[in-house]
Amino acid sequence: MSLLVMKIIDHMEKLKIVLGVAGMLLFILGVNFLIESVDTYAAGIYLGFADASGIIGYALGYAIGAPLIKTFEDIIFDASAEDSADSHAWLRTWWIRFVFVSIISWSTSIPLSCFSHPLQGTTRIKPEEHKMPYFVDKKQKDQELGTSIKDLFASILILIKTPIFVSLALARASESLLIIGASAFLPIYVENQFMVTPTKAATLSGLVLIPGAALGQLLGGIIVSKLQIYCKGLLTFIMVTSMITVVLVIFMIFVYCNPMPFAGINEDYGGTGQSGNLTAPCNSHCGCSPSFYSTVCGRDDVEYFSPCFAGCTHSKKLENNQKTYFNCSCINEGLITPDDQGDFIDARSGICNAKCSKLPLFLVLTFCAIVFADFADVPNLLTILRVVSDKQRCLALGVTYVILRLFGSIPGPIAFKIIGETSCTFRDTGHCGIKGSCWIYDTTKMAYLFVGICSFCKVFTIIFTAIGFGLYTYLLKENSDILPVPAKNLKIEKKKNMNL
């Protein structure tokens, strides 16, 4: 059965390649079709709705696929589950959700195919569209390119040799690095910084990340469309919102909970033992293993690595299904409370109550930072499409996504994983000495690294956008053949032409 599961995983990886190819067609051709079919200054609204819909789609996909994860992990890691009824049921039904989503995806292609190209009314919009300025190498401006592979590479070379395009694509990659990396690491940060359960941390992070990203992209598109600003205004908008994001991120470092005392990590054992060593005189006779991590909270409000390291010899479950421990030799202080049967409880399973009320403030700051960070998405895309020629828009989008993946999506999770690796103070160690996942973090160090990398990414966004702004201003002055920016109100422009 394990072999069958591995084959399923192999096929799923191949399927991701196919989905990537199919998805890029929608993101590239669909966006270009949208830009060509709407008024110049109305494009931001439509792109904002499209990007926000994509975020909601990710959320729905997570909600649909999440129930499969627990059963899948049981089959992989629990040998006793391989022949269980649940494992057989999972192998029979895991594909149903994928078929359901595939049918919905295919059904959307039917109404899309009914639209004509060009859309009705597009011809009245396009004359103004062709007046848009774009910048390429002067020697290659009038070069005619065909559809061969050689011409494809020549077109890519033209884009790569356009500094303003490269700077804007790198700014977009910096945004991707921040959003994707922070999204993956935020649940870990919330769990350890504010001492909540992994489930609660993941839920709260999702409630902040998904609505914040969707709202930011939607509002970003609406605002730039209502303001009717062109490239210089769009670039200024990106830099201003990015600066606000940096300020909000820096404020986040001041919102934290004081780390709980942890015996053997940052606290001794009531005057015995020492920090950094889990073994102390009170538990040296227990033969405890650091490979088994099951934290308990003592009545002295100190966390212990496991009941064994707390010196506990007896345990039982209460009516609320919480496990409690008694006769713990390492716990000598704190309020003694008896249970229903008169036994005096020394420790309870789980982490201690941090008695910290700063989590709501942190979530509000995070939500605002995400909204302002995603304000830059639609303006950046609009600027990229406006600094290249009409014929190169699809290719420019494709090259942009390649740069985004290479310098943003791929290194993003890696960069934020370094935060966890660097701030880890105690790691799982297997029986063979193989290091596993981190159990305990230095939360202060984690906070500084998290805020540092987030600010670093936004600063790079500002730098690359500022470079693009400078290049755009310079090229406007140097290129006398570039026509003025389209009028903000086509009706006013039409009246002027009639008066002439």
Cβ distance 261 to 355 under 8 Å? no
Q: Contact 191/201 with Cβ under 8 angstroms?
A: yes
> pLDDT tens-digit profile of 94-105?
667 777 777 887
CA neighbor of 38 nearest in space, from 389, 367, 382, 344: 382
Averaged over 169-193, what is the pLDDT?
89
pTM of the full structure: 0.78
Q: Which fold has domain 2-255+358-496?
A: Growth Hormone; Chain: A; (1.20.1250)
- Match 């942890």 to its residue by tokens: 262
Q: What is the pLDDT of residue 124?
A: 57
Distance in angstroms (rounded) separating the CA atoms of residues 115 and 389: 24
Asked if residue 69 has pLDDT above 60, the reply is no
Is residue 354 scored above 90 in pLDDT?
A: no
Instruction: Quick: pLDDT tens for 34-62.
Output: 777 777 778 888 888 888 888 887 777 76
CATH 1.20.1250.20 residue ranges for the chain = 2-255+358-496
Residue 427: its H or E element: strand 424-429
Q: Considering only 32-41, 453-462, 477-486, which range has the smallest mean pLDDT? A: 477-486
> For position 13, what pLDDT does the model report?
66
| Position 151 confidence tier, pLDDT thresholds 50, 70, 90 | confident
Q: Is the pLDDT of residue 120 over 70?
A: no
In whole numbers, what is the pLDDT of the chain averaged over residues? 78
What sign does the CA torsion over 246, 249, 251, 254 have? negative
In this prediction, residue 499 has a pLDDT band, given cuts at 50, 70 and 90, of very low
- Opening angle at CA 353, ends 349 and 356, nearest 5: 160
How many whole angstroms from its chain centre is CA 54? Answer: 13
Which amino acid is located at 262 in the chain? F
283 pLDDT higher than 70: yes
More confident residue, 166 or 260: 166
> Among 11-25, 29-43, 274-288, where is mean pLDDT lowest?
11-25
Instruction: Count CA atoms within 13 Å of residue 58 on its CB side.
Output: 14
Poorest-confidence range of 198-202, 300-304, 422-426, 476-480?
476-480
As a whole-number percent, the residues of the chain with pLDDT over 90 amount to: 16
Residue 483 has what pLDDT?
46
The answer to whether the beta carbons of residues 383 and 164 sit under 8 Å apart is no
Q: Is 72 a residue whose pLDDT tops 70?
A: no
Tokens of residue 226, six digits? 């209502």
Whole-number pLDDT of residue 128: 52
Q: In the prediction, which pLDDT does 306 show?
A: 87
pLDDT tens, 487-497?
Answer: 455 444 444 44
Q: Across residues 285-300, what is the average pLDDT?
A: 83
Give 237's pLDDT tier (boundaries 50, 70, 90): very high
pLDDT at 494: 46
The stretch 458-471 carries a mean pLDDT of: 93
Give 215-226 pLDDT, tens digit per residue: 999 999 999 888
